[in-house]
Amino acid sequence: MKLQKKLLFSFVLIVLLSAILFSLLSYGSIDKNLLQYMGAVRENRLNQYEQLFRNYYLTRGSWDGVESLLQGMAAEGGRRWGRGIGMGRNGPPSFTSGTPEELLLLSPEGVVIADSTSSRIGEKISPDTYKGQIRPLYDEKGERIGFILLGLSPQSGYTRLENSFLKSVNEAVWISGGIALVIAILISLLISVGLTRPLKKLTQATQGFAKGDWSKRVKIKSNDEIGALALSFNRMADRLEQLEKVRKNLIADVAHELRTPLFILRGNLESMLMKGDPPNEERLALLHDETVRMAHMVNDLQNISLAEAGKLPLHKEKVNLISLVQKVVQIFSAQLEEKKISIHLDLGEELTFVSLDPKRIEQVLVNLIGNGIRYTPNDGVIEITGRREGERMIISVRDTGPGIAPDDLPYLFERFYRSDKGRSRTEGGTGLGLAIAKGYVEAHGGSIQAENHPEGGSIFTIRIPLESDNDL
Ligand code: ADP
């Protein structure tokens, strides 16, 4: 069943149940309280009729011409009764106004002398069977002169006025129940449309996704759970679109990166085989370099994938990080000397005994320091600082190079990303260096960040959590 129908169904069910419950309860309460009240009113009416009919008899000495009084009384009684229970003298017409009272006058022997509906005259009635609706009449000597009797409906046991009143109450209950039902249906339609419209939008967007349309987003701004769902969906969509782009780019990039070394290898091998060019040492070394480069790239890609999947094997041991940094700086001594770049080390003593995988962290440092040297002009400075901050160690490599364009910052750590797209692979690296650094640092549970230093140059910071107190 559709959500809209389910909501409509539940609302209607709730209203129907409440109407039934309400009428059951109200009937119970009418029986108890309202009927008690009506009984009192009936008693009062009998008192008034007793007074009037007695006076009539006493002034005339007989019941002659009493029919006209009786009919007038009955009609007036109906109006008064109506006003008493209804909306009042100046209010709208009451539900019982105009309903004549059924009133009978009996002789002392119980024979109907006069009747407001003129249908039961002459009928013999036993006063004892009409308790609560009959009243005896006496003259000043205490002699019984007759009875007045309020007629009751044989089916319900109420007078016509009381019946009419109960019918009105009944109608009011059902009319209000009906109105409540209509209102409930309207509200349920409004709510269900409000609920299902954004859900439909979400469904359309997910169907678009299933068909490969990654551009689909939903525009829902409500502050409820559906709004939160739409927000999560849009975030997921952004991420999936980005991943899809990365996946496509990766394949294109790998193909691109392999094409050049394969082209060099193939060209050289073909010229040796077909044209009979002799394989000299220089040429073989070049070809060897290309195969090493390819193997390196494939290896790097594999390690990045492993790191991203959280499956990169780490061989942690207690390492003197200061010595490790010095070792890496030593690797670059020739380039540093050539470009006259000075290195400043500022490493806290507490970093002499930390638990990490030395090979992976060495690779991170090689990539960061190597990039720093590559992008720093002659006579520049590279500053490496390291210290403990709370439960983690922070190492940063700052250079005095051109810094990073703000547009490149978010993509710097992606595979094959190079801010200078025109730069040839021989001038720079493979574009995997920072992706490797990120993968290895994250495998240690840490994070890496690139920023532009306010005084120029770029600064790369890695933060790695310390494993335990034994670390330092
Ligand atoms: P590559 O091997 O091409 O250097 P990386 O992943 O190491 O690849 O770096 C990606 C890109 O980040 C580089 O192409 C370069 O544009 C930019 N980059 C990295 N380090 C620095 C730095 N120290 N200063 C300026 N730009 C940098």
pLDDT in tens, the chain (472 residues): 677 778 778 878 887 888 788 778 876 776 677 777 777 877 888 888 888 889 989 998 888 888 877 777 666 655 554 444 433 333 333 334 445 667 889 999 989 988 887 678 888 888 887 777 889 999 888 899 999 888 776 566 677 777 777 788 778 878 887 888 888 888 888 888 888 888 888 898 899 888 888 888 888 778 888 888 888 999 999 988 888 887 888 888 888 888 988 999 999 999 888 888 888 898 899 899 999 989 989 999 999 999 988 899 999 999 999 999 999 999 999 999 999 999 999 999 999 999 999 999 999 999 999 999 999 999 999 999 999 998 899 999 999 999 999 989 988 998 888 776 655 455 557 789 999 999 999 999 999 999 999 999 999 999 999 876 555 5
Check pocket membership of 151 for ligand 1, CB cut-off 6 A.
Answer: no
Instruction: Please answer whether residues 119 and 32 qualify as being in contact, where contact means their C-beta atoms are separated by less than 8 angstroms.
Output: no
The pLDDT value given to residue 84: 43
Determine the distance separating the centroid of ligand 1 and the alpha carbon of 338, expressed in angstroms. Answer: 20
Residue 404 Cβ < 6 Å to ligand 1: yes
- In the reported structure, the alpha carbon of residue 259 is separated from the centroid of ligand 1 by a whole-number distance in angstroms of 22
Closest-CA residue, ligand 1 atom 8, reads: 431
Distance CA 461, CA 385 (A): 9
171/275 Cα distance (integer angstroms): 110
Which pLDDT value is given to residue 37? 78
The response to whether residue 399 sits with its C-beta less than 6 Å from ligand 1 reads yes
Closest CA to 161 of 50, 87, 75: 75
Q: Is the CB of 431 under 6 A from ligand 1?
A: yes
Q: How far is the CA of 425 from the centre of ligand 1 (A)?
A: 12
Q: What CA–CA distance (Å, rounded) separates 6 from 458?
A: 60
Answer yes or no: is the C-beta of 15 below 6 A from any ligand 1 atom. no
CA of 286 to the centre of ligand 1 (A): 25
Rounded-to-integer distance, Cα 299 and Cα 363, Å: 13
Ligand 1: residue of 293, 398, 408, 418 to mutate (most ligand atoms within 8 A of CB) is 418
Residues 6 or more apart in contact with residue 159 via CB below 8 angstroms: 42, 101, 102, 133, 150, 151, 152, 153
Walk me through the domains of the chain, giving residue ranges and CATH numbers.
3-165 (3.30.450), 241-308 (1.10.287.130), 317-471 (3.30.565.10)
Q: Is 375 in the pocket of ligand 1 (CB under 6 A)?
A: yes
Which DSSP string corresponds to 97-134?
A: TT----EEEE-TTSBEEEETTSSSTT-B--GGGGTTTE
Report the candidate in 157, 134, 162 with the shortest Cα–Cα distance to residue 146. Answer: 134
Q: Cα(322) to centroid of ligand 1, in Å?
A: 24
Atom of ligand 1 nearest to the CA of 436: 6
Report how far ligand 1's centroid is from the alpha carbon of 301 (Å): 17
From ligand 1's centre to the CA of 181, what distance in Å?
A: 69
With beta carbons less than 8 A apart as the criterion, state whether 394 and 441 touch: no
Q: Which of 111, 131, 120 is nearest to 46 (CA)?
A: 131
439 lines ligand 1 (CB under 6 A): no
Q: Count other C-beta atoms under 10 Å from residue 260's C-beta.
A: 15
Which uninterrupted H or E stretch holds 149?
A: strand 144-150
Instruction: Give me the pLDDT at residue 401, please.
Output: 94
Residues 6+ apart with CB under 8 A from 434: 367, 371, 412, 413, 417, 448, 450
Asked whether 372 lines ligand 1 (CB < 6 A), one says: yes
CA angle 155, 170, 22 (to 5 degrees): 125
Q: Is the CB of 420 under 6 A from ligand 1?
A: yes
Bridge partners for 449 per DSSP: 461
Whole-structure pTM value:
0.57
Closest-lying ligand 1 atom to the alpha carbon of residue 457 = 24
CA distance 24 to 27: 5
